[in-house]
Structure 1
Amino acid sequence: MTTSELLSHPNIPLEVHINNALTILENLRNPNLLSENLEKTLKVALALHDFGKATAYFQKKIRGEKLSPKEKKLSNHSLLSALYTFFVLQKLFKTDYKYPLIGYYIVLNHHSGILKDFSDTLRLGEEKIELLKLQTESINPSAVNRFISNLRLEDELKQLLKFDKGEFLQFLGEVLDIFDELEEDLTSIFNLENLGEFLTVSYLFSLLIDADKTEAGLKEKPLFLGKKVEIPPSAVESYKKTLKGNSPINDLRELAYKIVNTAEIDTEEHFYTLTLPTGMGKTLIGLNFALKLKERLEKKTSKPVKIIYSLPFLSVIDQNAQVLEKVFAPIGDKIVVKHHHLSLGEYLKGENNYELTRLLVESWFAPVVVTTFVQLFESLIPFKNSSARRYNKLTNAVVLIDEVQALPSKFWFLLREYLKEFAKTNNTYFVFTTATQPYLVEEGKELIPQKEKFFSAINRYRVSLKLEKRTLEEFFTEFKPEGGKSYLFILNTVSSSKKAYKLLLECSVPEGDICYLSTHLTPYDRKKRIRELREGKYRFAVTTQLVEAGVDIDFSVVVRDFAPLDSLIQSAGRCNRNFRLPRGEFVVLNLTDENGRRFATRIYDPILLQITEKLLTEFNPTDEVSLIKLSERYYREVWNSKSRDKSEELLKEIKRLNFSKLSAFKLIEEEPYKSDIFVQQNPQAVEIWNAVKQLMKDLKNKKITLWEAKKRFETLKSDFYNFVISVDVSKNTPPIDEDLKIHYIPYEEIDNYYDPKLGYVAEGKTYEEF
């Protein structure tokens, strides 16, 4: 083979990159999800996505030669590649413009951060056309055609791809008029009334960028990606035999496990619900069902089926990932990958291959992936390049959504409509697990048909409603801890939790008996204290809502400031969790500040609070059974009361292929008033801070490249953020580091800004002096 001598990356021939990417595509794609026309569109788009690298300007850049400012502009390749893709596909599909437009769009965006709205990509302007003509003039046709002849494609497609400079320049002279007409005709070219077009474009785009980035990550390494890992469906059963436990609810856990284990699987049913009280082992029960479903689907489709396990909070990811890793340990150590914004660094420790490790973690190549709601839903409804590459991993998959009630109610309608279409189109199966199922999936099949029996049999606590308004001072003046009982206080704000901690000390409770938890503590301190709580080290704990869902702790008495019903039920799940007492006690308060304003109104939707207050007043639940019974009525009222405007607006943008507008779909609201602070709380933190500072110094002095700096930071990132808090610094502002652009608390000034018990000092000495 005579090479084209065109490079795609340093020292890598363009045809080698494209041929490897085409091979990877064969392993990624599911032919059952692609029509013949879509197959051809995708192949052509992948073959040509780097066509623009054939310009003299790009070739000069990739060889390290110096470029003038104008040449730098002319070395960009995405738009030229996209237009040549459109040009070729137009020849193939004649007047059916749907496929040329899809090919154009997915190639154009393959280096975008936020994806562009479809219609916006058709507005180019004369200035861009002139640059495109200059780029085209610089291309050597014989080199490009050698590149095309070296591609592992059918002869028919290679003939179609053949480059004729004059013909393409003529097209560039006409493209503005062509695109103007196509923009006007978009509604007749695409069906913008349903979700199908969005799902198609997202799938093709995902396959293209995943194949491209995977090839770049693997380089010359063996293409192992098609290798199937055999996971026995009995993996959970084998693991359960190693467990020892004498919890009084073990018999009930075992009964629930057996019911789900023998549940009939209908592969026509894409939605399942698993509804059980907290502490009933939903993680293992759900995983066991997912393995059975995976086995059935693989027999039916002869394609590997991935399991994605998602949870709402970073704080519970590690806990659940550890369980899954133990389940699959006998099979191998690359079965489970944990993916969130800090996880890459954990895997890089002890690994030399940055690219390969990053590929395995961020691309979800493992058979089982544990991730956050944010990562999952940004991949399901993609608007960013980085998450769109994972969309294809959610096809032919079983997705477990644990603690599903944590999804914001304003998005229920959007998710209900979207997931139905997604599941049907992509052969995806969803399992929703929780103690309280929201109105998300009406037609889901419940895996515990007589779930009420479990809730009745496990009546672990009394409910005491104290809904008259009171201040923290009024509550703690009356509070008298009873001997032998442990107490968990869950407050709604950090300030009220700190005040509660101080008032508890005034009740003659020894400081060493109290654990305090909030986001004002570094993750380093929080993880340590949660571990100590699980070990039963403290009799008293004062926390914010961060222990509400999924954190496995157990107290005799749980006192909770007022909150929406689903939050109350989740908090109550920490009360007598393991049924070691005949009855625990769950107390609901209605706390206010000194001005009579309820803390609950500062953080919760008023509609949810009103519905909760109405139901609690009307039905006056007295125990776990009667409290949880209210959840169905609560979710029904929320469904009927909440505005669907946000959901309907986003659904409209999805149908119109307005990808950039989907950035409004945020499961976690941003808090712009908060700033990050690095806390040098111990010698380990100081060492990590100094390592990152040295990295920046090396970058400034050009001892390392930006790429090398990013790689080195990834290995430090999880440790670095172990000491970072995000808080309002307006009343006690620590210094800011100009290199790292982050506030930091120097080790020698720690007392001014960070209390070892309560964390960040919101109004410290520096504030009070002025």
Structure 2
Amino acid sequence: MKHYAHSGTSEDRADWQELSDHLVEVERLARERAGSLRLGEAAGIAGRFHDLGKYAAEFDRVLRGEPVRVDHSTAGGRALLELAPEDMKPVAEVLAYAILGHHAGLPDKATDDRSCLDRRIEDARTPLDPEWQAHLPVDFRCLGEELRSKVRAQPAKAGFDLSVAVRMLFSCLVDADFRDTEAFYDQLEGRHRNRDWPGLQGILPDLHQRFDAHMAGFAASSDLNRLRADILSHVRARAAMPSGLFTLSVPTGGGKTLASLGFALDHVAQHGHRRIIYAIPYTSIIDQTAEVFRNVLGAEHVLEHHSAIETEKAGEKGRSKVRLAMEDWAAPVVVTTNVQLFESLFAARPSRCRKLHNIAGSVIVLDEAQCLPRPLLLPTLAMIDVLATHYDCTVILCTATQPAFDSEHLRQGGLPLAGRELAPDPEALAGKLKRVGIVQGGVMDDSALVQALRGAPQGMMIVNSRSHALTLYRAAEAEGLDGLVHLTTRQYPAHRRRIIADIRARLAQGLPCRLIATSLIEAGVDLDFPCGWRAEAGLDSVIQAAGRVNREGRRPLSASLLTVFSAPDNRPPAEVAKLAEAMRATAARFPDLLDPAAIRDWFDEVYWRVGADQLGRAMATSMVFTGAETNFPFRKVATDYRMIDSPMVPVIVAIEPEALAEVGRLSVAEVPSGAIARALQSYTVQIPDRAREILRQNGKGSFRAPELRGDQFFVLDEPLLYRQDFGLWWEQAEYLSADQGVV
């Protein structure tokens, strides 16, 4: 009998996809994707065997629409494990992880759950038509050689190395399977998808021309601009160095964002990388950075991908080119968040892992690298190391306060960074770019903070929480302070951009401007205040805040101060409190907190002295390869690797004409979800998942057009909960009604 992979519409099955055709095409596509990874044979065999379970007679009932369940994803892995010689068992296990996971996600090797690899292999008893043997033979020796090239000899690294090879094979298989299935149904339904992005190497001359033209627009009219130009020139001159790991240590205001982009473009030209990925720790500023890249390189070349709108939950209908590119990161330049990048690299779900093979061969710029979370540091650095060692990635750790992730300082699992600094003499740059002093203000309650702002017609005050910012703003408002501005992630990005533009205008014109903000202002927001106050936090955050004072160096250093204070009535979160305690210890030893020696001392205190257990050693060493077998807990790692402990979800605030128009288009089936999602990113506020559910239960918000869009677009239905002065109020939503007002 004939066996089919996918059903069509014809009763005589003339338009159904034969299984052998599907397996051959997925094998071809998987080999193609894994070719540059030098894993083509392994990926091809995974593609050839991934749907062997469809050779079961019972699967034909599934295709006929009968309500039966057939596990078609396990048979291929079981067949490989039975075929493999004993010494090739780990090779078969590597392929089995990918094959078993291509629908349900990468499994753990051995747990009490029946979904683990061992239990599924044991339970896979459905007989297959002998026709499946037409897909033999399998050259396990060749597969073993290929995989061996991705595993270092050191036992401490071998398990993690091999687990990443599984992830890359899984990515190639999943993308190949999706693409062939998609192509079959597109042809059947007469549909065309625009997935075409230009290759980076082909457009590189144009990108270089655009970048150079953009940089030529900066006049060398000041000492600071001349220094920025010197830094850029020095960084670009090092682009011919061998690809791998680099640091870029430039103090705030030194132009490191554009310097890193210039290096990336030149490095790609020298070494043939396939794309540039720029990762940012803060969702609150990604739209601003992406806009800079679009202006410099052209919007048609840049993909912006983060979680402001939950695009993974979009339905099939009307998926745009941008939405499709978010699946596989096929764009030449990707601007994303650390969360999206690293949680994908440690994920188990097919939808998140599909892009991994396109991360290989990239130049990856990690902006504000000091923000990599401490509890996940060792597995994160291990992943960076593997990408550079085995998958042709260049990774640039870009920061004003380099956290010494090198192996000399971090003996538990640091990176080989000696001699890989791109900046010209970071120690000297720290002195040349010093434009502000940091002083200790001691204990300051809200009353004292308001009085301090009263004495500063232009000044900023940064605190550790949205709730403290709001309380302090209310207190300053009650005191009648002029030029009062509140900036917080309670406000949606389009609103924040207008506020920031207004702040810049006020500062430039000498008008009163007293800003109360959360930490979102500390990185990537180019503001230039005469003075500022910062609630105690880690020294890295304090230094970032200091970068908003006298940023352009137009005022005397002695008059440009950032005052660090403690707020006993608004204690910081436990993690921030620990970092603040270490900052106080460093301040007791170093009179100048901007001294590079002080920064090294603080990082020693908070990173290297806490011990490997506090830096994620258990996760980094959880991937076990004994040489005879593997034990990879992919699902457990995916669950545990969370850069944000409390997931935030988007609420669309549609009170402006542009947002209202986009929300109105949600009910039009022909309009792509991706296009609407991108347009609405600027009108979303991220709030706790539980808080959004309370809004929904109490009629304050709802998912729009769920029959078309699923639960992707949650819109605020009570506009009075959004205020122009402080943004969205979601607290106590179960008690508030429209006529009660807010606070």
1:70-219 equivalence runs, <5 A: 71=68, 73-74=69-70, 76-87=71-82, 89-90=83-84, 93=85, 96-113=88-105, 115-120=106-111, 121-124=116-119, 128-130=123-125, 132-133=126-127, 136=128, 139=129, 158-160=135-137, 194-217=159-182
Match of 1:313 in 2: 282
Residue of structure 1 aligned with 2:475, choices 482, 498, 503: 503
Are 2:53 and 2:76, in contact at CA under 8 Å, matched by a contact in 1?
Answer: yes
Are positions 1:403 and 2:374 aligned together? no
Alignment CA distance shift 1:552-1:200 (3 Å): same
CA distance in 1, matches of 2:580, 2:658: 43
Are positions 1:586 and 2:561 aligned together? yes
Instruction: Give the secondary structure class of the aligned counterpart of 2:74.
Output: helix
Deviation at 1:354, TM superposition (A): 2.3
**Structure 2 portions without partners, runs of 5+:** 9-15, 139-154, 408-415, 625-630, 705-710
Match of 1:33 in 2: 38
Instruction: Give the secondary structure class of the aligned counterpart of 2:560.
Output: strand
Deviation at 1:276, TM superposition (A): 0.9
Are positions 1:759 and 2:719 aligned together? no
CA distance in 2, matches of 1:344, 1:247: 44
Instruction: Give the secondary structure class of the aligned counterpart of 1:229.
Output: helix
**Structure 1 portions without partners, runs of 5+:** 149-157, 162-189, 299-303, 696-703
Deviation at 1:230, TM superposition (A): 4.1
Residue of structure 2 aligned with 1:488, choices 460, 475, 494: 460
CA distance in 1, matches of 2:692, 2:136: 65
Instruction: Give the secondary structure class of the aligned counterpart of 1:273.
Output: strand
Are positions 1:645 and 2:640 aligned together? no
Instruction: Give the secondary structure class of the aligned counterpart of 1:392.
Output: helix
1:2-21 equivalence runs, <5 A: 6-8=4-6, 10=8, 11-21=16-26
Identity %: 23
TM-score, structure 1 as length reference:
0.77
Amino acid at match of 2:38: L
Are 2:311 and 2:323, in contact at CA under 8 Å, matched by a contact in 1?
Answer: no
CA distance in 1, matches of 2:540, 2:295: 31
Match of 1:328 in 2: 297
Residue of structure 1 aligned with 2:27, choices 22, 31, 34: 22
Instruction: Give the secondary structure class of the aligned counterpart of 1:604.
Output: helix
Moved more, 398-407 or 632-641: 632-641
Amino acid at match of 1:528: R
Alignment CA distance shift 1:676-1:389 (3 Å): closer
Are 2:622 and 2:632, in contact at CA under 8 Å, matched by a contact in 1?
Answer: yes
Count of residue pairs brought into register by the alignment? 667
Match of 2:422 in 1: 447
Match of 2:214 in 1: 239
CA distance in 2, matches of 1:86, 1:119: 15
CA distance in 1, matches of 2:198, 2:715: 46
Deviation at 1:199, TM superposition (A): 2.2
Amino acid at match of 2:581: Q
CA distance in 1, matches of 2:167, 2:97: 10
1:536-555 equivalence runs, <5 A: 536=506, 539-555=513-529
User: 1:19-40, CA deviations, whole angstroms, 9 ceiling, x for partnerless residues?
Assistant: 4433433432245634xxxx44
CA distance in 2, matches of 1:231, 1:580: 37
CA distance in 1, matches of 2:686, 2:66: 43
CA distance in 2, matches of 1:746, 1:606: 37
Amino acid at match of 1:52: G
Match of 1:717 in 2: 677
Match of 2:488 in 1: 518
Deviation at 1:111, TM superposition (A): 0.8
CA distance in 2, matches of 1:341, 1:218: 27
1:274-423 equivalence runs, <5 A: 274-298=248-272, 304-329=273-298, 334-342=300-308, 354=319, 356-423=321-388
User: 1:612-665, CA deviations, whole angstroms, 9 ceiling, x for partnerless residues?
Assistant: 0111133232xx854x55211111222232242151110122334111121355
Are 2:107 and 2:117, in contact at CA under 8 Å, matched by a contact in 1?
Answer: no
Deviation at 1:282, TM superposition (A): 0.9
Alignment CA distance shift 1:517-1:341 (3 Å): same
Instruction: Give the secondary structure class of the aligned counterpart of 2:204.
Output: coil
TM-score, structure 2 as length reference:
0.79
Deviation at 1:286, TM superposition (A): 0.8
CA distance in 1, matches of 2:484, 2:444: 23
User: 1:448-480, CA deviations, whole angstroms, 9 ceiling, x for partnerless residues?
Assistant: 24122222122212323212x221112323543
Are 2:195 and 2:321, in contact at CA under 8 Å, matched by a contact in 1?
Answer: no
CA distance in 1, matches of 2:702, 2:334: 37
Larger Rg: 1
Residue of structure 2 aligned with 1:604, choices 565, 571, 575: 575
CA RMSD of aligned residues (A): 3.9
Alignment CA distance shift 1:122-1:311 (3 Å): closer
Deviation at 1:438, TM superposition (A): 0.6
CA distance in 2, matches of 1:413, 1:685: 42
Amino acid at match of 1:640: W
Alignment CA distance shift 1:216-1:531 (3 Å): farther
Match of 1:558 in 2: 532
Moved more, 249-258 or 425-434: 425-434
Alignment CA distance shift 1:4-1:421 (3 Å): same
Moved more, 517-526 or 457-466: 517-526
CA distance in 1, matches of 2:521, 2:385: 31
Are 2:346 and 2:641, in contact at CA under 8 Å, matched by a contact in 1?
Answer: no
Match of 1:726 in 2: 687
CA distance in 1, matches of 2:694, 2:47: 53
CA distance in 2, matches of 1:223, 1:23: 19
Are 2:31 and 2:43, in contact at CA under 8 Å, matched by a contact in 1?
Answer: no
Are 1:345 and 1:718, in contact at CA under 8 Å, matched by a contact in 2?
Answer: no
Match of 2:246 in 1: 272
Match of 1:617 in 2: 588
Deviation at 1:493, TM superposition (A): 1.7
Alignment CA distance shift 1:388-1:251 (3 Å): same
Alignment CA distance shift 1:56-1:533 (3 Å): farther
Are 1:33 and 1:425, in contact at CA under 8 Å, matched by a contact in 2?
Answer: no
Instruction: Give the secondary structure class of the aligned counterpart of 1:609.
Output: helix
Are 2:284 and 2:489, in contact at CA under 8 Å, matched by a contact in 1?
Answer: no
Deviation at 1:290, TM superposition (A): 1.7
CA distance in 1, matches of 2:120, 2:450: 69
1:570-581 equivalence runs, <5 A: 570-581=544-555
Amino acid at match of 2:725: K
Amino acid at match of 2:94: I
Amino acid at match of 1:79: T
CA distance in 2, matches of 1:110, 1:757: 48
CA distance in 1, matches of 2:732, 2:310: 35
Are 1:206 and 1:388, in contact at CA under 8 Å, matched by a contact in 2?
Answer: yes
Deviation at 1:108, TM superposition (A): 0.5
